[in-house]
Structure 1
Amino acid sequence: MMQYLDMEALSWLCVAWGVLELGFIAVIMLYLVPRMNRLEAPAKYPIDGKRLIHKILETVDWLSEQEDADTTFESFLSGWFLGADCSELKRGNLVVFLAWTLYAKEVDALSKAERKNVMSMVKVIEGRLGRTMEPGFNERVKCIRHTLDRVVPFSHRPLALYAVLGLARALVRIALVLCGFRRRLAPCGSFMYWHRQAPPSGAAAAVAAMPGKTAGPGPIVFFHGVGAGLPFYVLALWKLCRHRTSIIVEAPSIMMSLALLRGHTPPSEDQLVESVEGILERHGVKRAAFFGHSFGSISVAWMARRKPHLVSQIVLLDPVCLLLFLPNVARSFLFPDTDGMPLHERLMLHLVTREKGISHTLRRHFWWYANVMWPEDIQCPIVVGLAGQDKIVPCKPLRRYLLSHSTFATCPSCPSGQNMSSVDGLINRGAGGSNGKHINESFVSSGGTGDGSLRIGSGWTPAGGGGGARGFVTNVNGNNRCKVHKCIGGYKCNGHGGPAASHGSAARPGGFVSATNGGGHVSKAAVLGQSPEAAGKQGITKAMGDGSDSGGDGVIKRVEIVYWTDAGHGNVLGDPWALDEFVRVATAQGAALSVN
């Protein structure tokens, strides 16, 4: 009897849930779809559109001139036209694309002056291509101009999925409350955030009580990326936030929720920047480190550009805001090419980017020109984590781009056991020392350095004295660490001891090879896997900075890059080892900045 009643109850439960799902579909089709397809007013351009395009073209030219460049002007233009060959483009296709690029408008909506500017840019592009484009319009060629698409595409997700995700978020919220966080409404009313004050204790309290001293890592503001929301970031939150004052911003518009059904609209740049400023003021935070993953890096870019005095450090993982004018991010999010992509990555990409709320955000509130971060926007030290197998972020050109705009940079390696042959940017900054010369900053290409965690800093001086091999000592001013290196990380460069390394020897897995005197010394030849003479020939001398942290002139004074050759977009968040390495670099840089 009980078994019969249980089966009957289960049957009624299934029927009731089926009715709910049908009602959910009806609400989406009758109410939500018309709202999703409604066009939105474009965001303000940060600079004149023509100046912006010329700036982009100059950067594309620079990228195309680099060794082993996979970015050319033709590939750049083809990418925005969904892979169409440039020979297929007609003048009308280019006019349609430039009307959207310069003014976020249809061609018919352009004023006479705007149309004149568009035609002048057509001539510029024709000059780059070396030919006059054929008049007319090729109907077979489509371009990316997602904010003007009449229909926002999406794939239906059952109500049950939202229920499961809602339960996961509820569990994370309970955990945050148990950890001392409190959830509050942002001043603009468009999003919620979590806050926890990290009280000093023990020795940290004694240091904090000293005038002019800061104990431990400083405050952090955390922005998550596209996906399920905070459940995806539990490990990262634990490692980043447990010892510091933390503000965690929730973005319902990019976390597969029913926020759109409830009438939620993503905050504009003005709203978010003013709200975050109000949040920091509310909790007595004068400056903070800003962390952004993937889409969350855009919020960090806004803060860095608009409120640089509030940003002490920038930490970006899988950032989409850098080189956003390249077609990679837009194509991957909006028109993904899944050929050759593993099945699980293909399913995840489809599950996330075609979810109705996320698709609406990407196609109605994603203004590339307002979201891009330029080097001059970075006026503080920055740590960037890049994944070599990222199908969204253009990691290879981005790594070169960051290093080329830096007066001081380090490139820590990927996790142990992974191939490091792609780590081709290592910049060292010299300092005077006993029996040593000042070394100019240089960019050096490496053909491979073995596995393990390799950190190259500054303050390296040629070893003098009784050693046999020419190497680089870390014993500057007698404290076995470099002053400048301390400023960006505070690490000691620990030698392993033993005989002097010969020219061209490879670095040991997991650490450094010793050079002269058998300890505390690192041979440049050992680190780079080549002779100092060969390394010098590959070097490109760079001007030294003034030692300040601020940029503002298109030059990033301090950048550290952590690069994982075998990781994909978001993989690091689930890899404790890789995440530890990234957090270690970011935390060390931030801690060094707080030391007076």
Structure 2
Amino acid sequence: MTVTTPNLRHAVSARRRIHASEQVTGAPAPSPVDSYTKPVNTWDDHRHDNHPLDVNDDTKPMPVSTRDASFWLALVFLVTPVWIIVPLSWTYTLYTSWKLYVRRGVAGSDPLQTWEVVLFAYSLFEVLFSIYYAELANIARAYKTRIPKRDMHELQLIFTRVLQSGLSPPISADAPSRPGSPAEPITTLKHDDPRAVDFRSHFRLWFWGAPWSEVTRTAMLDWLAWNTFDKDMRKLDNLQQTVIKEALVMIEKRTGGRLKDVRDGGKPHIVPLKVTHDEVNIRSRPAIVYIVADCINRLAKWYLEWVWDMKSSDHEGVEYLIRNPPSDADASPNHPQHPEPVIFMHGLGFGIAQYLFTIVFLLRKLPSNQPLIVPLQPNVSQAILHPTHLVPLPREQWVKGLKGIIDQFGGERAGVTMISHSLGSLAHCWMMKAYPELIKRSCFMDPVTFCLWEGDVCSNFIYRKPTNAMQLLMSYFVATEPGIALAVQRHFDWFANSLWFEEIPRARNPYYTSFHIGGHDAIVDGYRVKRFLMNHGIAEGLNWNPSGVHGQPCLFPAGMRQLTSWLSSPEPPEPRFDDSDSGSESESDEEDLVEYVLNSKAYPS
């Protein structure tokens, strides 16, 4: 079962109805862009806040940062002491075994001292674990991708959205509803058009940051085959090849020029990043890392259960912690009987121990009779012995499980407040696509679900060579752990993981939707996500910190104070849904997109 947003299902059915109508009447579909006046695009609208655009950027590779002092300090004092445990354990185990072998049968030979016995036992344990770990790494590397097949019309709609993103100039937050980027026609842009320069100068991240002039048509077709169908170009059928070639033409229109063939000067060695096809990136680590991670997570869980009365449970395989509200008799005018549940989706790393401060802060600030639900993600939490460590729950099971949890605790009546951080924004995205009516309020902190097509998240998390301490620690302790690497590199479905403005109910209303973005995020390009949101008129609900790092919104006191201020803000007087807003903006925008795809004839039906 493929979970898609009701709006997308509506859009696909609408497309077919319009197509049938055209066959009968012969009349083209009406233009969706007559209701607003288009502003003029300028270079300022398409300038990265850190890197001003240069029309000649396509002839130069992306700049590479040099390693700073913090990188070497972290390497020497944090990473190397942990990494070297395994080779030292092998060395000591072999040495002690040889020494015991030589001493056997020798009269008067001294036995091992107590500390030597303990050290030998630990070293032997690390040796055995390293063998087990190597087998886990082999299993992860041999794991085949699990990306579902999709309806051709759905692929066309999503790819059209990608190419149209950034074509429209920004709009103000108080502007009337408009189709936005999805309604902008894809025409052949000039090479020096700021929209073309911006698109190609960042899109080349998928090609290792090579100069755009060196990217060949063959390399682009190879990337499109992976990105669209999760296949090599050679394995596509005739219809799929036709779609890919049409998509290539659309990209060339969007980037302001035809890509070169190898014979015309293109570089054959420029190959694309293909996340689910490239080798899973895993690095060795000792068992002590998992032991420490398991201990602190057990302690954190025990603390939440005993001190804060949270309970452990699961539904459809989704494990979660919940703070059960007291009985209705404890309700007061300030604490209503049935406040909507709050769901906090944590990110990857070291599990709930990493987010203990956030969870406790929420427990303290939320009314005592308001349910707080914390779904757990063991496969991205260093839980090496958990059954889902190398077999993460599929998206459909996550959606079904979260839907059941929401229904169980009364969220189907008034909706829920969902807060997500980093990778947790993917489950947030899935629920918003599948059941937007259940998500009353949303808070996205360091979200990875926006602008996924630009390649920053994949490039920064998987392929980038670390240049500072934060990047090095993230790479070694998090990104190259088998469970996390497998989840990211073999379950990366950017079609399902990409959240669009039109899919967020009341996105411009700061009471219902809040975004927390940092300018120094090591994973997300915060400036481009900020621009993407502002281009759709989001202003008041955008909490922008130009010096913010990844994790700052939910792991530091200042960010948590912003979150609790948002949670406690009074609800505006207008109802969430009314007759004038039937279907929300997203449904009308979906119809606009469908009509554009039909009128443009960009793809074969």
TM-score by length of 1: 0.67
Aligned counterparts of 1:22 and 1:356: Cα–Cα separation in 2: 18
Aligned counterparts of 1:43 and 1:86: Cα–Cα separation in 2: 31
Aligned counterparts of 1:203 and 1:33: Cα–Cα separation in 2: 55
Aligned counterparts of 1:123 and 1:87: Cα–Cα separation in 2: 16
Which residue is 1:370 aligned to? 496
CA displacement 1:311-356 (0-9 Å, x = unmatched): 11111100011122221111111112534xx324432343211112
CA displacement 1:49-94 (0-9 Å, x = unmatched): 2332221111043479999999812113211112011111112101
Q: Is residue 2:433 matched to residue 1:302?
A: no
- Secondary structure of 1:291's aligned partner: strand
Which residue is 2:158 aligned to? 52
Which residue is 1:145 aligned to? 274
CA displacement 1:136-162 (0-9 Å, x = unmatched): 48442121211112x211111210000
Asked if 2 retains the 8 angstrom alpha-carbon contact of 1:63 and 1:71, the reply is: no
Aligned counterparts of 1:68 and 1:124: Cα–Cα separation in 2: 17
The aligned amino acid for 1:258 is: I
Q: Pick closer, same or farther for the CA change 1:78–1:35 going to 2, 3 Å.
A: closer
CA displacement 1:110-155 (0-9 Å, x = unmatched): 1100001111122222333444333348442121211112x21111
Post-superposition offset of 1:37: 2.4
Post-superposition offset of 1:226: 1.4
Aligned counterparts of 2:482 and 2:353: Cα–Cα separation in 1: 20
1:575 to 534, 556, 567: 556
Q: Pick closer, same or farther for the CA change 1:64–1:289 going to 2, 3 Å.
A: closer
1:161 to 289, 298, 303: 289
Q: Give the structure, 1 or 2, with the largest relative contact order (CA under 8 Å, sep 6 or more).
A: 2
2:517 to 360, 375, 386: 386
Post-superposition offset of 1:571: 2.4
Asked if 1 retains the 8 angstrom alpha-carbon contact of 2:323 and 2:371, the reply is: yes
Q: Is residue 2:211 matched to residue 1:106?
A: no
Aligned counterparts of 1:333 and 1:116: Cα–Cα separation in 2: 32
Which residue is 1:228 aligned to? 350
2:127 to 8, 16, 22: 22
Aligned counterparts of 1:347 and 1:30: Cα–Cα separation in 2: 24
Q: Pick closer, same or farther for the CA change 1:383–1:139 going to 2, 3 Å.
A: same
Q: Pick closer, same or farther for the CA change 1:583–1:262 going to 2, 3 Å.
A: closer
Post-superposition offset of 1:376: 1.7
Which residue is 1:194 aligned to? 321
Asked if 2 retains the 8 angstrom alpha-carbon contact of 1:289 and 1:590, the reply is: no
CA displacement 1:390-440 (0-9 Å, x = unmatched): 13222223223323324xx553xxxxxxxxxxxxxxxxxxxxxxxxxxxxx
The aligned amino acid for 1:582 is: L
Which residue is 2:310 aligned to? 181
Q: Pick closer, same or farther for the CA change 1:319–1:97 going to 2, 3 Å.
A: same
Q: Is residue 2:444 matched to residue 1:316?
A: yes
Aligned counterparts of 2:436 and 2:111: Cα–Cα separation in 1: 62
TM-score by length of 2: 0.66
Q: Pick closer, same or farther for the CA change 1:589–1:167 going to 2, 3 Å.
A: farther
CA displacement 1:214-272 (0-9 Å, x = unmatched): 46963111111111111111121122234331110110121122057766522222111
Which residue is 2:405 aligned to? 279
1:266 to 372, 389, 392: 392
CA displacement 1:165-192 (0-9 Å, x = unmatched): 10110110111111111111221x2x41
Aligned counterparts of 2:476 and 2:330: Cα–Cα separation in 1: 50
The aligned amino acid for 1:22 is: V
Q: Is residue 2:534 matched to residue 1:403?
A: yes
Aligned counterparts of 2:493 and 2:535: Cα–Cα separation in 1: 26
- Secondary structure of 2:437's aligned partner: helix
Unaligned runs of 5+ in 2: 1-109, 172-180, 182-192, 507-511, 578-605
The aligned amino acid for 2:341 is: P
CA displacement 1:445-466 (0-9 Å, x = unmatched): xxxxxxxxxxxxxxxxxxxxxx
Q: Pick closer, same or farther for the CA change 1:377–1:129 going to 2, 3 Å.
A: closer
Post-superposition offset of 1:367: 1.0
| Sequence identity (%) | 22
- Secondary structure of 1:226's aligned partner: coil
The aligned amino acid for 1:194 is: L
Asked if 1 retains the 8 angstrom alpha-carbon contact of 2:169 and 2:535, the reply is: no
- Secondary structure of 2:276's aligned partner: helix
More helix, by proportion: 2
Aligned Cα RMSD in Å?
3.2
Asked if 1 retains the 8 angstrom alpha-carbon contact of 2:197 and 2:255, the reply is: no
